[in-house]
Amino acid sequence: MAKQREEYVCKACGAKSPRWTGQCAACGEWNTVEAVAAAALGGWSARGTASRPASLSAPEALEGLSAEGVRARPTGIPALDGLLGAGLVPGAAILLGGEPGVGKSTLLLQLAARQAEMGAKAGRTVYISGEESLSQIRGRAERLGLLGPGLLALATNNADEALDVIAGLGREPGLLIVDSVQTLASPRAEGIPGSVSQVRTVSGELVEAVKRTQATLVLVGHVTKDGQIAGPKLLEHMVDTVLYLEGDRRDYSRVLRVLKNRFGPSDELLVFTMEEKGLAVVDDPSTFFLGARDASLSGAAVSLALDGRRPFAVEIQALAAKSFLSIPRRAALGFDANRLHLLLAVLEKRLKLPLGQHDIYVKQGGGLALRDPGLDLGLAAAVLSSFYDAPLPEGAVFWGELDLNGHVRPVAGQETRQKQASRLGYGPLLHAGTCKTLDDLRRALFGKTQS
């Protein structure tokens, strides 16, 4: 009997190698390369090329094809329809990632219940769980008030049973939710559930099967300790839409982001609150993350950040305290620590402030983590406010990027931010158009000039 050939696959990026290495040559990660049988890599021959299929489909003219089969169906959650572009597209595959306990299963059970309530218009909805038993799923649905006659569930770890469900849907519309793809195993792949070969094979078979139907597939993906969706990177390329649900399990707010979308915008997001009956959509999240704030306190600045196409008013809090350590402390919550160090160095150099003698603590209020460069000016204003122990003008709002020379640069979405600030009644507005340098900012806020 011929010896089965092995190849080595990186479980972080999916890159293949003829031999084992401690570090992946493609992504640079360590200890992520593992042996996989060549037969489990999707029918690759010993020469490393895919075997030729018995027959090939003839190409067709796109103009003559009917568009009826690709019209999206509503999800039953209007805000989610807008996030996806139109709703659930027949034959589409959606990947949902997020940390454990953030609310992925709750959100998808709500989606399944809304589809079941729509009846024949939405088709059959099946919730497949490899992590919970049927009694556990029923208990969660009852607790959330989602039990209904059309809500179907299946508890299994066998990928073939999920494929049978897709085959049973036929050409009728439907929704298949798999929670999660790392818990299913296929007899056509080696390894334990969740391994690279199993995830690659299971997801490939499910996506290929659903493409031949009018149903929509939703896969739940586990995440790594770095917050990336676990499994080969190929998994994100195989699906049509990638969503990511983020938030702190100890907080009541959640943010659903679109990382990839073939049928709609790829820079949208939704804000939810975790309530007793599940996740509830926040209709106007513009000031949701501000909360109750006291404008008379120092070290707090309101900044208008842009995440995708949606502007948010967020509070940036800073604390500058005299340090008794040889190396002062720097802590950032919700910010990139390296960016904080850079901005503090610019403040110290350009404004001649003794920040090297102070511990600096910075955080974003409301638990929202943003990476908008327009937050630079708000962070600088909050640090200056705490350093001088003087509150900022009530209603002041900031946005702008700081360069290494201490100049304020314009950022994307200038008009959108201005319209949102006017709608919310903020003023004065401090940005690249109203203050050119850090010294202009300090003079406008505290009346202090360059020393």
Tens-place pLDDT, residues 157-197: 999 999 999 998 888 889 999 998 999 999 988 888 888 88
**Alpha helices, H only, 144-232:** 159-169, 196-211
Share of the chain above pLDDT 70, in %: 90
Q: Could you say which residues of the chain have pLDDT below 50?
A: 1-2, 40-53, 451
Exposure b/e, 10-26, CB count within 10 A at least 16 = b: bbbbbbbeeeeeeebeb
Q: Is 436 known to sit in a ligand binding site?
A: no
pLDDT of residue 388: 94
pTM as predicted? 0.79
Structure confidence by residue, pLDDT tens digits, 19-76: 888 888 888 888 888 877 655 444 433 333 344 445 556 787 877 776 665 688 899 9
Q: Compute the distance between CA of residue 318 and CA of residue 332 in angstroms, rounded to an integer.
A: 9
What SS3 state is found at 67? coil
Q: Compute the distance between CA of residue 365 and CA of residue 291 in angstroms, rounded to an integer.
A: 8
Task: Output the six-digit token pair for 448.
Answer: 């202090």
pLDDT of residue 94: 95
pLDDT of residue 310: 81
> Pairing relation of β-strands 408-409 and 401-402?
antiparallel
The amino acid occupying position 378 is G
What SS3 state is found at 332? strand
Q: Is 105 known to sit in a ligand binding site?
A: yes
Q: Compute the distance between CA of residue 97 and CA of residue 257 in angstroms, rounded to an integer.
A: 10
Cβ atoms of residues 194 and 34 within 8 Å: no
Q: Is 99 known to sit in a ligand binding site?
A: yes
Sign of CA dihedral 218, 224, 229, 233: negative
CA dihedral 84, 88, 92, 93 (to 10 degrees): 70
Q: Which of 381, 354, 363 is nearest to 435 (CA)?
A: 381
Q: Is 104 known to sit in a ligand binding site?
A: yes
pLDDT of residue 349: 94
Mean of per-residue pLDDT scores for the chain = 86
